[in-house]
Structure 1
Amino acid sequence: MRARLALPVALIAAVTVTATACRSATGTDSAAPGANNSPTAASSVADYNPVPYDRIKDGGSYTTVGTFDDQGNPFHVNSTLTASRVWAWYNAVAITYSPTGEVQYNPDYFSEVKVSVSGGDQKVVLTINPKAVFNDGTPIDWTAVKATWQANNGSDKSFSASSTDGYSQITSVVEGADAKQAVITFKGVNASWSALFTTFLHPKAATVQNFNDAYVKKAHPEWGTGPYTVGTWDAHSGNITFVRNPRWWGKKGKLDKRVYVNLESAAAVNAFKNGQLDYVSVGDAESLKQIKGLKGTEIRSGGSPFEYSLYFNTRSTVLADPAVRKAIEESIDRAQIAKIQFQGLDYTEPLPGSAILYSFQKNYRDNVSAVLKYAPDEARKALDAAGWKPGSDGIRAKDGKKLEVGYTLLGDDALGKATAGAFAAMLKTVGVRLDIKKADESEFSSILSDRKFDLFLSGNRSMDPFGARYLCDFYCSDRDSNLTGAGSPALDKEIRSVAQVADLTAQAKKANEVERRALQQYAFLPLFSGPSTYGVKKGLANVGATIFHNPLPETVGWQK
């Protein structure tokens, strides 16, 4: 899952797994820890205080900044990272990944997983824990797997699904030996199939109306499952509290309460300093300075499966012209933007070259540099050729209209302002005026879903290591998740052909080739990733920089 922005060594018990077609290949996309020692790769270090379950105290609370999102269904196209994180505290977390991307099956949901290939087609048999049940008493069985597939496979366009990739390759989901066994058959082989069923929907949540609307600013704990359930969901304040779930059959959650407090990001550091929070993200030098050395706390920092990019709305009048978009991209000094972001953090990384893979992954290629260079002189020439002539104030105009582009800035933090200012200065040198428009952080989802922007800086987090499977989400012209609106039917066909490649290495090679062509739409510009750095109260276990891993909720707590 790729989640737009708004989670230890495995602590789960081993299960019987026959996954010859997938499991051995899963790690081929990932670098070993320590890859950041190379100056050509970003950090791949994990830092999260991994502690075994039996060495974590019973009780206590864990409080961070956070709230529910406008769209709380993580399968929905308007869902964000916030929604995915909140969802995981009261719904199934059936499959996770190690920090480097190896698949981990949660035995509280799957008693056995078997993968086989026959006649060129892959079959996955999921044997579900006989104790598994949704909170309303409905058994978790093959029908939940089927419902998740049907809502996301694209056959019914009424479902506003985030991604149909992978699901559309499934030809059937049927009952196996009994209702507690789901047999999934693919057309061809899908090496990243596990990313499709890391969680699943209650069958009642998989109707069109409920899929699209039931989780809008609401929770449905009765359709959930897991060690925790909703205690309070305050629609007025935005605060959320999760408590232990009395219907849970698996490993008991270590915490008494997991609390989200709805605060603007600028207030989070002060709340952490005052002891109101147990954990806070510190993505800039000033925040890091404020909490470094604070008694009873520590800094955890490591690699990041995040990437921040500049999105161009091609449906905007001025940005409809690819020549203008290319000129703007050529005028942006990405190295300077990264310098602003990382100032005071004692961190460097190569500029990101792909939307789908990170520089610490084996099959990564710098596709951006293959199609684009920082070249403001070339940008000026291109704008001249497109008829945009400099005025007396240096800003270009054409047919009496100035070359002005909007930039939507969320929140009020100094780093965001500095970045916006840098963009404005860079564009001014080539004759483009940047109109900085401020918006509240709470407007994030609506800005994206309604495309209320010209230029917008936003990020994505990879929830699994299979980057190539998200190529269509970024670049297909008919995909709502493609926020830029760029692309063409011919390019869509090329992109979708990547999914037909069974071997992960070969698939990544083809994905890189296709991404280079997609980047020549000049509507999407990767800018930086950066480290994942957090202030954490000492003793908090299984929380921090985890790369591709998401901790099982029951493993989060306070070390004995």
Structure 2
Amino acid sequence: MPVVLIAAISVTATACQSSSGKDSAGSDARDVPSAAPAAADYNPTPYDKIKDGGTYTTVGTFDDQGNPFNVNATLTASRVWAWYNADAITYSPTGKVQYNPDYYSDVKVSVEGGNQKVTLTINPKAVFNDGTPIDWTAIKATWKANNGSDKAYAASSTDGYDHITSVEKGTNAKQAVITFKGVNASWSSLFTTFLHPKAATVDNFDKAYVKKAHPEWGAGPYTIGTWDTHSGNITFVRNPKWWGKRGKLDRRVYVNLESTAAVNAFKNGQLDYVSAVDAESLKQVKGLKGTEIRSGGSPFEYSLYFNTKSPVLADNDVRRAVQESIDRTQIAKIRFQGLDYKEPLPGSAVLYSFQKGYEDNVSAVLKYAPDDAKKALDAAGWKPGGDGIRVKNGKKLEVGYTLLGDDPLDKATAGAFAAMLKPVGISLVIKKADEADFSNILSERKFDLFLSGNRSMDPFGARYLCDFYCSDRASNITGAGSPALDKEIRATTKIADLDQQAAAVNKVERKALQEYALLPLFSGPSTYGVKQGLANVGATIFYNPLPETVGWEK
């Protein structure tokens, strides 16, 4: 689960209020830092300093697709999954690999004849909730479902899994021996969690978790208490079958609320944690009695996606003209208005400016140039009409923009796009949709332009170029690309050295960006209002704290 999609309104970038009153993005370009901040802020607290008991409540609900390995799963699915399934490998905030001994009691990596071998020894006590031992067959089943050999599986990403040549039983059933073709430095991202063998059949992989949970196929310190399909609320309780450290909380609760209602629910004491989605919501939670603001670096990136299968955006010239007409600096100014936060404009879909190997690939292929956009549209036969909107073959140059929910910041962003495109002769038609339609809009490509984000679940972003740009990938929601480009992209996944791989990825991404189907816009920090005393929760970058370590300080 390398990268997961999120709606624009889910975790919008915010930061602490500016004391000067100036809005940061409008400042001189020379003031912009060369890299985004990479600090974490989550009240790290040792297990023995957390009290037993209590409830932790946030906004959230189950997703249409609850299997995080499935192409239609989003960040919500990954977060809910982690509360009742294995969290076998996690990462530190900066991306250092951490093995969870409750699942993998020993991990050995070796290279023989140029091919990597990973031996996972599974904790003898590890068992799924239905009594099935967690053993090598779960690792094999996860590999089979995700390696791309059977196209009936709608897998989110086959990268890495497709370089495994075998998963075999080791000295006993509690040992899995994974053999790769070549070397895979980021193999850990493939088995951070795993599927119950029953969940890994084609039918169950694609359909069993659609608006349903399967706690019997899960494992971990918590299991499902209530899963209310009517309200969308979920409660997790301690799992009596858990063999590891006891979960500190009595209950973990997700309440299904629209994002705009979340801040009021937090102020009323109904929630323990809320994403401060803009300057206004931050103002409302800042200074509340018993509340802390936790803000840090962000493994999120928000991009504008172009549906290349829609009639109006099938033309590369039109897509390029749209991108050249968008002033990304102005969009950042809108998103960060009233916030003491600065970042460089993002230059890649896969690496962040605070990571080693990052290069600004967007600036290498695109500049803000509305006059060039006009010339390109003239040359492509789109002539200005009487009302200023261009026309070709009797058809107006109208592009749809799908706006989710009623968030004021998202409305302002949509309005800014419309205002930028109008002088070039492009009419932006804003189409409203419910937040609940997010998965459906993406999976069925029901959009022309769509603003959405991604959260990187591990630090190996260069490995996932194909997810964004390969023409034969369902995860490439733009539908852009070509078999020739796919080949170049896939060649980068075979490079074992991470530095060399990043250099190759930057080169290929510059070609992919010339499809003009994806435009990185902003990242921003992660900022949250959190009740005082809540431990191991907040801005964690690449770190996902184990569920049993989340709770309230003694």
Note whether the superposition's TM-score is higher than 0.5. Answer: yes
Q: How far does the alpha carbon of each residue in 1:171-201 deviate from its partner, in whole angstroms, 9 at most, with x for none?
A: 0000001000000000000000000000000
List runs of 5+ in structure 2 lacking aligned partners.
8-30
> What is the match of residue 6 of structure 2?
5
Q: In structure 1, what is the equivalent of residue 427 of structure 2?
A: 433
Amino acid in structure 1 at the alignment position of 2:461: G
Q: Distance in 1 between matches of 2:196 and 2:258?
A: 32
Does residue 493 of structure 1 match 2:487?
yes
**3-state secondary structure, aligned to 2:143:** helix
1:361 maps to 355
- Displacement of 1:368 in angstroms is 0.2
User: Is 1:551 the counterpart of 2:545 in the alignment?
Assistant: yes
1:215 matched to 2:209? The reply is yes
Report the equivalent of 1:21. Answer: none
Could you list the structure 1 runs, at least 4 aligned residues long, displaced by more than 4 angstroms after superposition: none
> In structure 2, how many angstroms separate the alpha carbons of the residues matched to 1:4 and 1:92?
21
1:188-267 alignment, distance < 5 Å: 188-267=182-261
**Structure 2 residue identity aligned to 1:3:** V
Residue type at the aligned position of 1:95: I
Deviation string, structure 1 residues 21-46 (Cα, Å, up to 9, x no partner) = xxxxxxxxxxxxxxxx9910001010
Structure 1 residue matching 2:477: 3-state secondary structure: coil
For residue 18 of structure 1, what is the aligned residue in structure 2? none
* CA-to-aligned-CA distance 1:249-274 (integer Å, 9 cap, x gap): 00100000000000000000000000
Give the SS at the match of 1:191: coil
SS at match of 1:327: helix
Secondary structure of 2:154's partner? coil
Tell me whether 1:395 sits opposite 2:389 in the alignment.
Answer: yes
Match of 1:310 in 2: 304
2:524 to 518, 527, 530: 530
Q: Contact between 2:54 and 2:250, CA under 8 Å: does it hold in 1? A: yes
What aligned pairs does 1:254-293 form with structure 2 within 5 A after superposition? 254-293=248-287
Match of 1:382 among 373, 376, 380: 376
Deviations 1:137-172 (A, max 9, x none): 000000000000000001100000001110000000
SS of 1:429's equivalent?
helix
In structure 2, relative to structure 1, the CA distance for the partners of 1:285 and 1:38 (3 Å cut) is closer
Secondary structure at the counterpart of residue 119 of structure 2: strand
Correspondence for 1:451? 445
Residue from 14, 21, 33 that aligns with 1:39: 33
2:54–2:249 CA contact under 8 A, matched in 1: yes
Within the candidate set 501, 504, 510, 1:516 is matched to 510
Q: 1:483 aligned to 2:477?
A: yes
How far apart are residue 76 of structure 1 and its match?
0.2
Taking the aligned partners of 1:73 and 1:120, their CA distance within structure 2 comes to: 34
Work out the CA distance in 1 between the residues paired with 2:339 and 2:5. 24
Letter in 1 for 2:78: S
Q: Give the number of aligned pairs.
A: 530
Structure 2 partner of 1:540: 534
Q: Residue 193 of structure 1 aligns to which amino acid in structure 2?
A: W
Which aligned pairs between 1:455-466 and structure 2 lie closer than 5 A?
455-466=449-460
Task: Find the aligned partners of 2:110 and 2:553 in 1 and give their Cα distance.
Answer: 40
Where 2:424 maps in the other structure, the secondary structure is: coil
Task: Give 2:15's aligned residue.
Answer: none
Deviation at 1:345, TM superposition (A): 1.7
Query: Which residue does the alignment assign to 2:367?
Result: 373
Larger RCO (CA within 8 A; separation ≥ 6): 2
Match of 2:125 among 114, 131, 138: 131
- Aligned counterparts, 1:27-176, within 5 A: 39-176=33-170
| Structure 1 equivalent of residue 465 of structure 2 | 471
2:434 maps to amino acid? D
CA distance in 2, matches of 1:431, 1:543: 47
Q: TM-score, normalised by structure 2?
A: 0.95
Asked whether the 8 Å contact 1:390–1:431 carries over to 2, the reply is: yes
CA-based RMSD of the aligned residues comes to 0.8
Displacement of 1:283 after TM fit?
Answer: 2.1
Aligned-partner SS, 1:527: strand
The 2-side partners of 1:216 and 1:535 are apart by: 31
Kindly provide the amino acid, as one letter, of the partner of residue 200 in structure 1: F
- Work out the CA distance in 1 between the residues paired with 2:238 and 2:46: 19
Give the whole-Å Cα distance in 1 for the aligned partners of 2:192 and 2:519.
29
CA distance in 2, matches of 1:468, 1:228: 33
For residue 298 of structure 1, the aligned residue among 292, 301, 307 is: 292
1:409 to 403, 408, 411: 403
Q: After superposition, give the CA deviation of every residue in 1:266-293 in whole Å (9 maximum; x if it has no partner).
A: 0000000000000000020000011110
Give the distance between the partners of 1:149 and 1:362, measured in 2 at CA.
Answer: 29
Contact 1:463/1:548 (<8 A) preserved: yes
Secondary structure, aligned partner of 1:54 = helix
Q: How high is the sequence identity, in percent, across the aligned residues? A: 82
1:112-133, CA deviations, whole angstroms, 9 ceiling, x for partnerless residues?
Answer: 0000001100000000000000
- Displacement of 1:204: 0.2
Aligned-partner residue type, residue 2 of structure 1: V
For 1:150 and 1:237, locate their aligned partners in 2 and report how far apart those are by CA, in whole Å. Answer: 35
3-state SS of 2:499 partner: helix
1:540-559: CA deviations, max 9, x gaps? 00000000000100000001
CA contact (8 A) 2:4 2:456 kept: yes
Q: 2:417 aligns to what?
A: 423
Assess, with a 3 A threshold, how the Cα gap between structure 1 residues 144 and 256 changes in structure 2: closer, same or farther: same
Q: Secondary structure at the match of 1:311?
A: strand
Q: The residue matched to 2:236 in structure 1 has which SS?
A: strand
Partner Cα distance (2:421, 2:213) in 1:
43
Q: Which amino acid aligns with 1:297?
A: T
User: Do the aligned residues in 1 keep the contact of 2:32 with 2:342 (CA within 8 Å)?
Assistant: no
CA shift digits 1:446-496 (9 cap, x unpaired): 000000000000000000000111100000000000000000000000000
For the residue of structure 2 that corresponds to 1:530, the secondary structure is coil
Cα distance in 2 for partners of 1:105, 1:79 equals 24
- State the one-letter code of the partner of 1:236: H
Structure 1 residue 429: Cα displacement: 1.3
TM-score by length of 1: 0.94
Partner of 1:181: 175
Q: Classify the secondary structure of the residue corresponding to 1:126.
A: strand
Counterparts in 2 of 1:438 and 1:206: CA distance versus 1, 3 Å? same
Contact map agreement 1:303 1:531 (CA 8 A) in 2 = yes
Task: Tell me how far 1:391 sits from its aligned partner.
Answer: 1.0
Q: Distance in 2 between matches of 1:373 and 1:185?
A: 45
Query: Which position in structure 1 is the counterpart of 2:21?
Result: none
Contact 1:283/1:532 (CA < 8 Å) preserved in 2? no
